[in-house]
Chain A
Amino acid sequence: MALETQHIIIQGVADDTLTVLVNGQVQEIRNQLAELKALLSEQKSQSIQYADKIYNIGHIDEANFGFVTGKKAFNETLTRRLTEAMKPVSLSAERFLEKVQAIPGWESQLRISDKAKEIIAYSFVGVIGIQLSKLMAIGKEDMSEAKQRKYIEKCLQIASRSLDLLCFALISRLWDAAQQPPHNLSAAQQAQIARRLDEAFEPSLPDQFELLCTLHEIFSQPENGLTFPIPELGDLGKALEDGSSFQQTIRHLHALNEKLDKAQYDLLDCFEAETQLAAFLEQLSFLVSYRMASIKHIGYSQVRHADPGYLHRYAALGIDSKAHIDAEKIYYTPRTAHTDAVLLYRGDLYHEYINLSPFVIDYNALTGEHGAKICFYRSLDISDSTLEYLFLEDNSLVRVEKKGILKPDSDFNELMMSPENRKVLNLDNVVDQFREARRCLGGETLNFDDL
């Protein structure tokens, strides 16, 4: 209690000075942590108060001091660190850093750091880029309790969706590979995969990390003869080892999640979330090289005595994706692709791709609508075996249940005449595929039809 009454109140912050209230006396000191600490030590005090918040001086270091006093804005650290991490894989980032090399503290200059934020949001793969732009938007809002909560939440969501994306890419490729038996998954590995697909709740970050480690192990075992669908994941071995800094980052983020649940967060936690997210995404900067697309329609054409071709209509997923029909892109190729699929691929066109469906779906494509509504698989409702997906725009739940519209005696042609039936059939296919993947990879530990 004594500490609470003896804290020093920061009344004003300027670039060079702090105006503080000590024992009823207003003083001006230099805007430096060392000077503030010296003052606190002199007063035998352990805490400071600034803008209705009390901070323990032990929790403040050089890195977050500017954040507390408002000298450092939200996303400055993240922007700088991510731009630098992207440099080897992004010419935009490289070009930007060349331009700003003579500008010290460029991340604090709004016009310049906004350009870097734009590069980050446009460069990171599809839905992750969109989530990063939301984080930038939250960072620009006026300071409030809601802003702090939203900021930490968004940092955690970005980490969680990134891990999901990697895990689903690996599971998807594993499922493809498992079509050609034999495959050698251990019971533990199967259980790990099954747990993710049978989970009734959203998995925690450590659970997702553990699954990524297991999948990495499966792909790394030579006897399985598998290649990483994202080659850069092959180099992630060290980062996934027990006690690695990447694992530490995951733990820190998880700790923030617990603080959020207990509503025990403050401004310093925002800085912690930003720092940890920067560390997290530095490891995954290769995602900048990847793109996502949602296949809307594939048409077939073959002129007599000529080779056939396929006309793909697809929606590119990212900040710049548009929802109207004219904005859908066209790709004419002699090769077809899976219909109603969400693809992850490297480069500008999907010559080679990873089909993320049914773990990542475009609900609009499935229901014959334009625009993309990208949903990540979250959990299974064990009461009725409905698949629960997260719509990434607002984190709302989208439930996909099997209606079983196609009966053994159904006339498929007649059924497909109705647009409504086609929607139901597409959603039924999602459930069927998901169950098939689950059976194939997780073993017959759960009978969906008995649920």
Chain B
Amino acid sequence: MQKYPFKFLDAYTREDSEFFFGREAEIEQLYEMIFQTDLLLVYGFSGTGKTSLIQCGLASKFQSHDWLALNIRRGGNLNASFEKALQDAGGSAEADDAPDWLDEDWSGSPQSPAPRQDSPLARRFKAVYLRHFKPLYLIFDQFEELYILGDRAEQDQFVQTVREILRVEQPVKIILSIREEYLGYLYDFERAVPELLRKKLRVEPMNLDKVNTVIRGVGSRNTSNVRLQSGEEDAIAQGIFDKIRGDEKTLSIQLPYLQVFLDKLYLQITHDETRQTAATFTRAALDQMGGIGDVLRDFLDEQVLLIARQLDQKTDTLWQILSPFVTLDGTKEPLTADEHQARFSSLPAALVSDVLQAFAQKRILRYTEKDERYEIAHDSLARQIHAKRSDEEIALLEVQRLIKGQALMKAEARALFTEKQLDFIGYLSKFNLLTAEKDLIEESRRAVEAEKKRKRWQRNGLIAAVILIILALSGLAAWALQQQVAKEALMLSAMLSAILVVAYFAWKGFIASIDPLPPPEKTKDAKCTQCGVTIPTGEDLCFHCEIIAYRKAKKEKREKAKQDK
């Protein structure tokens, strides 16, 4: 029976190995490395096919009795997700009614089977092993999420867990798959586990040769319902490659773009949404296709429009609902329905739920039952959604990131928010903040108050000192007059006045040198010229509008540079 060979935005799995082409060399390298380490790092840019390489390429190198893979995504917390995956595989932490001696470890020397005390984690691994007798592969996919979305405590706990896993007796291997641009975040991890970067594989983007292998491979499989026009295979591969790389003339393309493009090409030829009709890719059909940018944009726009009509909603609402699933960098952010709903207090829950399901049906969102989370099917779509955001929304997200970034830093390294930043954070009350983030804001508020108080004390102390000195001088002058020593009194008075003036400026200078005096406190009676909110006197824009203005200027500069080019 013939099958549709493309995966659109889903990763290839072991079951798809017959259609997985163009990665032979990397699969061999990865397979070799698996026997050289217990901790393997796979990295590469988004869209290079890391997940497919592991879940399809590597997995299909093993026989079923040699491969027990637990694919683990962060979900709400990586450590909790790992616990759950282990539990599901049979690594229960709870005792059963079996005799206690079954849990004793006699795996040491047969001559000295003294029971040993294992850690709870080791006992769980043992339970998984005894259930399957297979080597266990813990695959942490999209590992960068731990650094994008997780906090310090979550990261530290995970590193400790990895250290412990490397010590368990059972055959367990860890594979971490991470986006290349997040490698730097692994610095602390590597310091704790030096093995981390010893064996690593970089997954290269698809070049023309590989694209050719993929397209020819798929077209020549008997089980595939896609064929290539005979004699035109190379030209079709080259044509597809050119369409995807567009005007940029890069030497490589992203795998998801290739998948989306091939899917669109198929649909253009067959118009069969069930993807069962056989299709032959021809140069003529290819010529009718636009570039990948158009394909992705059109695809997303079409789907949003379609769902908007279906649910009788404005497209803006749908874009708004999609937005929380994308980070400020234009990457995916998985959310549970509840987390997502919390950001839309103004929209009916039923509507949000319907929209999410409709997007999931159209394969724009992916729902994982295990984690009960929705996420954008791929970063390539996330980027398109990000491009649709308004400046105001981006400004809000930037501030949100500021909070998150500061909260993630070590206590001794992070800076507290300024009064101005705190004013603007007030606008973010509708977003859910983590406890650490809330604590940081509270700490910043307390610090701002304390600083204000300290400066008030300084100022009041200075005034009191000056008054006291004036009083003392006045008293002294009165005494001198009374004693009929007017000339001396006058001289003394002038001298003391001079000392007072010098002392005043010296004091002021000293204070300034250790802690510059704040500008005189402004009263908040001005209005922002853009949005009209109350702001301190003497300012034109509120912090929020300042960011928007800054972004606009940046955007204009970018566009001007583009035009000049």
| Residue pair A364, B36 in contact (C-beta under 8 Å) | yes
A169 at the interface (CB under 8 A from B): no
| Residue pair B133, A137 in contact (C-beta under 8 Å) | yes
B interface footprint on A76-103 (CB within 8 Å = 1, 0 otherwise): 0000000000100111110110010000
A288 at the interface (CB under 8 A from B): yes
B310 at the interface (CB under 8 A from A): no
| Residue pair B111, A91 in contact (C-beta under 8 Å) | yes
Interface centre among B36, B39, B101 (most CB of A within 10 A): B36
| Residue pair B110, A89 in contact (C-beta under 8 Å) | yes
Q: Which of A99, A134, A323, A324 contacts B101 (CB 8 A)?
A: A99
- Name the CB-closest residue of B to A372: B35
Q: How far is the CA of A122 from the CA of B107 in the complex (A)?
A: 6
| Residue pair A150, B65 in contact (C-beta under 8 Å) | yes
Q: How far is the CA of A342 from the CA of B305 in the complex (A)?
A: 67
Q: Which residues of B contact A136 (CB under 8 A)?
A: 133
Known: A323-B36, A364-B35, A371-B36. A134 touches B195 (CB 8 A): no
Known: A112-B102, A324-B166. A93 touches B37 (CB 8 A): no
Q: Which residues of A contact B112 (CB under 8 A)?
A: 91
Q: Which of B65, B130, B131 contacts A115 (CB 8 A)?
A: B130
| Residue pair B36, A123 in contact (C-beta under 8 Å) | no
| Residue pair B110, A393 in contact (C-beta under 8 Å) | no
A394 at the interface (CB under 8 A from B): yes
Interface residues of B in 89-120 (CB under 8 A from A): 96, 98-99, 101-102, 106-107, 109-113
Q: Which residues of A contact B38 (CB under 8 A)?
A: 322-324, 327, 371
Q: Which of A133, A326, A369 contacts B166 (CB 8 A)?
A: A326
Mostly, the A contact residues are helix
Q: How far is the CA of A372 from the CA of B35 in the complex (A)?
A: 7
| Residue pair A92, B113 in contact (C-beta under 8 Å) | yes
| Residue pair B107, A322 in contact (C-beta under 8 Å) | no
Within the complex, the shortest CB–CB distance from A137 to chain B, in Å, comes to 4
| Residue pair B107, A118 in contact (C-beta under 8 Å) | yes
Q: How far is the CA of A355 from the CA of B99 in the complex (A)?
A: 42
| Residue pair B101, A141 in contact (C-beta under 8 Å) | no
| Residue pair B65, A370 in contact (C-beta under 8 Å) | no
| Residue pair B65, A141 in contact (C-beta under 8 Å) | yes
Q: How far is the CA of A159 from the CA of B35 in the complex (A)?
A: 24
| Residue pair B35, A134 in contact (C-beta under 8 Å) | no
Q: Which of B98, B106, B133, B195 contacts A96 (CB 8 A)?
A: B106
Interface centre among A93, A118, A134 (most CB of B within 10 A): A118
| Residue pair A320, B169 in contact (C-beta under 8 Å) | yes
B388 at the interface (CB under 8 A from A): no
Q: Which residues of B contact A327 (CB under 8 A)?
A: 38, 166
Q: How far is the CA of A112 from the CA of B63 in the complex (A)?
A: 27
Q: How far is the CA of A369 from the CA of B66 in the complex (A)?
A: 22
| Residue pair A137, B132 in contact (C-beta under 8 Å) | yes
Within the complex, the shortest CB–CB distance from B103 to chain A, in Å, comes to 9
A319 at the interface (CB under 8 A from B): yes
- Name the CB-closest residue of A to B114: A91
A29 at the interface (CB under 8 A from B): no
| Residue pair A348, B109 in contact (C-beta under 8 Å) | yes
B171 at the interface (CB under 8 A from A): yes
Known: A91-B111, A150-B63, A325-B195. A119 touches B133 (CB 8 A): no
For A, the interface residue count at a CB cutoff of 8 angstroms equals: 48
A12 at the interface (CB under 8 A from B): no
Within the complex, the shortest CB–CB distance from A156 to chain B, in Å, comes to 15
Q: Which residues of B contact A262 (CB under 8 A)?
A: none
Q: Which residues of B contact A118 (CB under 8 A)?
A: 106-107, 129-130
For B, the interface residue count at a CB cutoff of 8 angstroms equals: 36
Interface centre among B35, B39, B169, B198 (most CB of A within 10 A): B35
| Residue pair A369, B36 in contact (C-beta under 8 Å) | yes
Interface residues of A in 305-363 (CB under 8 A from B): 319-320, 322-327, 347-348
| Residue pair A95, B166 in contact (C-beta under 8 Å) | no
Q: How far is the CA of A92 from the CA of B109 in the complex (A)?
A: 8
| Residue pair A141, B39 in contact (C-beta under 8 Å) | no
| Residue pair A371, B107 in contact (C-beta under 8 Å) | no
A interface footprint on B147-184 (CB within 8 Å = 1, 0 otherwise): 00000000000000000001001110100000000000
Within the complex, the shortest CB–CB distance from A138 to chain B, in Å, comes to 5
- Name the CB-closest residue of A to B163: A326
- Name the CB-closest residue of B to A94: B113
| Residue pair A111, B35 in contact (C-beta under 8 Å) | no
Q: How far is the CA of A248 from the CA of B106 in the complex (A)?
A: 34
| Residue pair A134, B198 in contact (C-beta under 8 Å) | no
- Name the CB-closest residue of B to A321: B171
Q: Which residues of A contact B35 (CB under 8 A)?
A: 323, 364, 371-373, 393
B134 at the interface (CB under 8 A from A): yes
Q: Which of A140, A289, A372 contacts B110 (CB 8 A)?
A: A289
| Residue pair B36, A121 in contact (C-beta under 8 Å) | no
- Name the CB-closest residue of A to B172: A322
Q: Which of A95, A121, A137, A369 contacts B65 (CB 8 A)?
A: A137
Known: A91-B110, A99-B99. A137 touches B37 (CB 8 A): no
Interface centre among B107, B112, B129 (most CB of A within 10 A): B107
| Residue pair B170, A320 in contact (C-beta under 8 Å) | yes
Q: How far is the CA of A394 from the CA of B132 in the complex (A)?
A: 18
| Residue pair A111, B111 in contact (C-beta under 8 Å) | no
- Name the CB-closest residue of A to B111: A91
| Residue pair B39, A324 in contact (C-beta under 8 Å) | yes
B64 at the interface (CB under 8 A from A): yes
| Residue pair A92, B106 in contact (C-beta under 8 Å) | yes
Q: Which residues of A contact B101 (CB under 8 A)?
A: 99
Q: Which residues of B contact A438 (CB under 8 A)?
A: none
Known: A327-B38, A371-B37. A134 touches B66 (CB 8 A): yes
Q: Which residues of A contact B129 (CB under 8 A)?
A: 118
Q: How far is the CA of A347 from the CA of B111 in the complex (A)?
A: 8
Q: Which of A133, A146, A325 contacts B133 (CB 8 A)?
A: A133
| Residue pair A394, B63 in contact (C-beta under 8 Å) | yes
Q: How far is the CA of A322 from the CA of B171 in the complex (A)?
A: 7
- Name the CB-closest residue of B to A117: B133
A114 at the interface (CB under 8 A from B): yes
Interface residues of B in 459-480 (CB under 8 A from A): none
Q: Which residues of A contact B170 (CB under 8 A)?
A: 319-320
Q: How far is the CA of A348 from the CA of B112 in the complex (A)?
A: 10
Q: How far is the CA of A138 from the CA of B132 in the complex (A)?
A: 9
Q: How far is the CA of A137 from the CA of B64 in the complex (A)?
A: 9
- Name the CB-closest residue of A to B169: A320
Q: How far is the CA of A115 from the CA of B104 in the complex (A)?
A: 10
Within the complex, the shortest CB–CB distance from A282 to chain B, in Å, comes to 16
Q: Which residues of B contact A150 (CB under 8 A)?
A: 63, 65
| Residue pair B102, A115 in contact (C-beta under 8 Å) | yes
- Name the CB-closest residue of A to B39: A324
Q: How far is the CA of A323 from the CA of B32 in the complex (A)?
A: 12
A interface footprint on B169-205 (CB within 8 Å = 1, 0 otherwise): 1110100000000000000000000010010000000
- Name the CB-closest residue of B to A123: B110
| Residue pair A134, B37 in contact (C-beta under 8 Å) | no
Known: A99-B99, A118-B130. A393 touches B66 (CB 8 A): yes
Q: Which residues of B contact A146 (CB under 8 A)?
A: 64
Interface residues of A in 368-419 (CB under 8 A from B): 369-373, 393-394
Q: How far is the CA of A202 from the CA of B170 in the complex (A)?
A: 32
| Residue pair A137, B110 in contact (C-beta under 8 Å) | no
| Residue pair A324, B113 in contact (C-beta under 8 Å) | no
Interface of A toward B, CB cutoff 8 Å: 86, 89-93, 95-96, 99, 111-112, 114-115, 117-119, 121-123, 133-134, 136-138, 140-141, 146, 150, 288-289, 319-320, 322-327, 347-348, 364, 369-373, 393-394
Some 12 contacts from A to B, beta carbons below 8 A apart, are A86-B110, A91-B113, A95-B113, A119-B106, A119-B107, A146-B64, A319-B171, A323-B173, A326-B195, A327-B38, A370-B36, A394-B66
Interface of B toward A, CB cutoff 8 Å: 35-39, 61-66, 96, 98-99, 101-102, 106-107, 109-113, 129-134, 166, 169-171, 173, 195, 198
6 other contacts beyond A323-B173, A326-B195, with CB at 8 A cut-off?
A86-B110, A91-B113, A92-B113, A141-B65, A319-B169, A319-B171
8 A-B pairs with the lowest CB-CB distances in the bound complex, closest first: A90-B110, A137-B133, A137-B65, A136-B133, A92-B113, A320-B169, A122-B107, A114-B130
